[in-house]
Amino acid sequence: MKSKFAKNTGPASFGAHPPARLCSGRIIPKLSPLFFALFLFLIPLQVISVEETPASLQNVGINERLGNAVSLDLNFVDESGQKIPLKTYFDGKKPVILILAYYECPNICNYLLQGTVNSLAKLAWPVGEKFEVVVISIDPKETPAIAVKKREAFKNWHLLTGEEKNIQQVASEVGFQYRYEEETKQYAHGAGIFLLTPAGQLARALHGIEFSTRDLKLALVEASQGKIGSVVDRLMFYCYRYDSTNRRYVFATNLMKGGGAATVLLLGFLIFRMGRKPFQGKEKR
């Protein structure tokens, strides 16, 4: 594997000297021993930095496609064995939390599903009242008989299975990248939940296996397009913005600056008015 350091030893770095002259004795003697020590030290570091991401995890994760619409006409099978279109869970009024995982996952899926349960328990909004939760298994071999075993743990959730092409289409539309590993017989995938609008568009993706009450509530308010939450919740949403770098909602400092400027202007106007009143009164007398 060639490193960036090795590439820079070409003609562009040594002017007119061709690569063959590196070993001619005209360049090498001019370089200090310290340079060679540094050179030998950096080569393994470069190799490590390139190879630190295992091949099994390349092209795996969440690359959310905000604003993209999910194909709601795709058919899936619910835990009772009934074949239904995805649009069944989108009534045009409530947002939908979409989770892509698989029910017999021995690793991260269990933490994600249970973490979501714990996060939702801290909200004052029961599942099914203000929003829906839909889980789609990414394993086309899983059946409703497997999904139904999870129903007790995930009350009021919709646990779906389906054909591989439909699963892949939904995953692609929201930006969920995963791959089946033949060696381990498991799926490599990222962890997170997708917040969809009542019309089925991706409004926000929250990364991780458990979510703060503030982030979850703000994401639901955002996805609902103002259709759920109290006046305070909606005002709170306008005071925050989503920081894609830190992957959480942060206070909108620009709004604070704007509010501060407005306050100063208002105080200045009031002082100006108060200062003019005595003068105007004397003129009238």
In the chain, where are the structural domains located?
Answer: 4-52, 61-251, 254-285
At residue 84, does pLDDT exceed 80? yes
At residue 15, does pLDDT exceed 50? no
At residue 27, does pLDDT exceed 50? no
CB 162 within 8 A of CB 253: no
2: amino acid identity, one letter: K
Secondary structure of 168-198 in HEC code, one letter for each residue: HHHHHHHCEEEEEECCCCEEEECCEEEEECC
H or E segment and range at residue 231: helix 231-238
67 phi and psi, to 5 degrees?
Answer: 90, -10
At residue 32, does pLDDT exceed 60? no
Sequence-distant (6+) residues with CB within 8 A of 215 are: 206, 248, 249
Tokens encoding 164: 């591989």
Mean pLDDT across the chain: 77
At residue 241, does pLDDT exceed 70? no
Nearest to 111 by CA among 179, 189, 180, 183: 189
pTM for the predicted model, two decimal places: 0.67
At residue 234, does pLDDT exceed 70? no
Query: In 10 A of CB 166, how many CB atoms?
Result: 18
Cα 150-210-154 angle, rounded to 5 deg: 20
pLDDT digits (tens, 9 = 90+) for 155-174: 999 999 999 999 999 999 99
Q: What mean pLDDT is predicted for residues 13-32?
A: 45
Nearest to 70 by CA among 178, 188, 205, 241: 205
Tokens encoding 206: 């929250």
CB 78 within 8 A of CB 144: yes
pLDDT digits (tens, 9 = 90+) for 90-134: 999 999 999 999 999 998 999 999 999 999 999 989 999 999 999
CATH of domain 61-251: 3.40.30.10
